[in-house]
Amino acid sequence: MKLFTKYNRINILATIATFMVGSVAFFAVLYSILRHQLDDTLRSEQQEVTEYVQTHGTLPDFENTRHQWITAVQTTQLPAHKHFSSYLHHDNRDGDNDWVRQLSFPLMVGNVRYTVYVNRPETETEDLLKLIIAVTLGMIGLILLVNYLINRRLINRLLRPFYSTVGEIINYRVAFEKPLQLPPSPIDEINLLNESLNEMAARIYREYYALKSFTENASHEMQTPLAVINGKIEVLLQNDGLNEQGIQQLLAIEQATKKLARLHQSLLLLAKLENRQFIPDEPVNMQQVVEAKIEEWHDLVKSRGLAVQLTCERTIIAFHPQLAEILFSNLFNNALRYTPQGGSIQIFLNDASLRISNTAAAGPLDIERVFLRFYKTQNAAEGTGLGLAIVKEICSLAGFVVKYAFTAGNHIFTIYFSNKTTQA
């Protein structure tokens, strides 16, 4: 939910609640005032009747109309005091039931006791109340509309620098040649946000380039001694004076050196992936990548007596060519390494996914740890334990989803391309 929508919802609800409470209070006060005025009119009639009796000693001739009528009823006992009341009156002319305000008071005319009833309909009061309520509701609606339009324009104007800041952050990449520079804002809060983001971006920029420089230097510096070690080992292996035990030790050193080199390359690649040094936005033909890699591994597949079943459709996705090769190579190499002699590997590729399944030499892998770094099964001594971690990191960078399953004695790795499929 947008900030304006949330603020406007709260503001409108609070305004409506305030107006509702205020309207109820206003109605009660107004009704009390109008009722009081009506009662004053009835008192004036009482005073006129009383003064007439005092002057003439007889009851006046009451001119009763639809809007007011007075009746005098002879009684043996006078009421203690005057009394106001309201009752429903049926009007024979229009057949309606209307509320009537009545004042009853005692009156002595000579020696005769009377109770006089002065009646006046509340219709005019009700009509006035309805008119006032209608005008009030109209004003409330107008105020709400004007308030909404003003808030909409004002908040959108106030939030314009915020959206500008968000746009700059979305479009910024740490691989750019300069750190993020957000412009100052006339709004103090937005200006404070921009300054804080600039400082944070500057720190990230420095740390990113320090790490990038370290990985590049480490890659260069480690390759040189590893190449020297391999060269010395080859020279020593050509020495005719070595016995069998010396040759075996040198071969073990060479194997360990090669494993160290692979580990170094894998860790370096992971560091580059984590620092987003690859941009997966190039069209890549995954069918060509898959078929080329299978052709490279053809001799090894044949020597181990493995059956490879390939079902490929032409698939062009937004990816990175080098990462595409690494992704498939790691998955296919993993399948080759853990497929027993005479087993089979199935590869299926279409616009939606890439699936590689292979005959399992043992039981299922730990689904919670299979993509963690340095995860290896007990019988896996050759690998570095980083292949599937690299696959996971590449998928995360490219926006893919990778999943593992174990079904009918087969390991199954599936990569879902999501919305990364593009037109050829």
Residue with tokens 């174990």: 406
The reported pTM is 0.49
Q: Answer yes or no: do 411 and 301 share one domain.
A: yes
Q: Answer yes or no: do 133 and 22 share one domain.
A: yes
- Token code pair at residue 339: 């497929």
Q: Answer yes or no: do 34 and 101 share one domain.
A: yes
Q: Read off the CATH number of the domain in which 61 is found.
A: 3.30.450
In tens, the pLDDT along 310-350 reads: 998 888 888 888 889 888 988 998 888 888 888 899 999 99
In-domain check, residue 154 = no
At 424 the pLDDT is: 41
Q: Answer yes or no: do 260 and 368 share one domain.
A: no
Per-residue burial over 346-377, b if 16 or more Cβ lie within 10 Å, else e, is bbebbeebbbbbbbbbeeebeeeebbebebbe
At 35 the pLDDT is: 84
pLDDT-derived band at 176 (thresholds 50, 70, 90) equals low
In tens, the pLDDT along 143-175 reads: 888 887 887 787 777 778 888 888 888 887 766
Residue with tokens 């219709």: 123
In-domain check, residue 224 = yes
In-domain check, residue 8 = yes
Q: Read off the CATH number of the domain in which 397 is found.
A: 3.30.565.10
Which of 71, 63, 66 minimizes the C-alpha distance to 98? 66
Q: Read off the CATH number of the domain in which 238 is found.
A: 1.20.58
| Domain count within the chain | 3
Q: Answer yes or no: do 202 and 133 share one domain.
A: no
Q: Which residue, of 230, 250, 273, is where some domain finishes?
A: 273
Region 72-78: what's the mean pLDDT? 81
Distance (Å, rounded) from C-alpha 390 to C-alpha 327?
8
In-domain check, residue 208 = yes
Q: Answer yes or no: do 65 and 84 share one domain.
A: yes
Dihedral of alpha carbons 350, 354, 359, 363, sign: negative
Q: Answer yes or no: do 27 and 117 share one domain.
A: yes
- Token code pair at residue 306: 């493995």
Q: Answer yes or no: do 319 and 385 share one domain.
A: yes
Q: Is 377 left (phi over 0), alpha (psi -120 to 50) or beta?
A: beta
Q: Answer yes or no: do 301 and 386 share one domain.
A: yes
Q: Which residue, of 117, 141, 165, is where some domain finishes?
A: 141
Q: Which residue, of 74, 108, 141, is where some domain finishes?
A: 141
Region 185-202: what's the mean pLDDT? 85
DSSP 122: S
Domain that holds residue 226: 188-273
Per-residue burial over 87-110, b if 16 or more Cβ lie within 10 Å, else e, is eeeeeeeeeeeeebbbbbbbbebe
Q: Answer yes or no: do 104 and 11 share one domain.
A: yes
DSSP 111: T
pLDDT-derived band at 382 (thresholds 50, 70, 90) equals low
At 147 the pLDDT is: 80
Region 226-231: what's the mean pLDDT? 76
In-domain check, residue 147 = no
Distance (Å, rounded) from C-alpha 229 to C-alpha 234?
9
How far apart, in Å, are the Cα atoms of 175 and each of 198, 209, 272, 331?
A: 16, 9, 11, 29
- Token code pair at residue 121: 């309909």
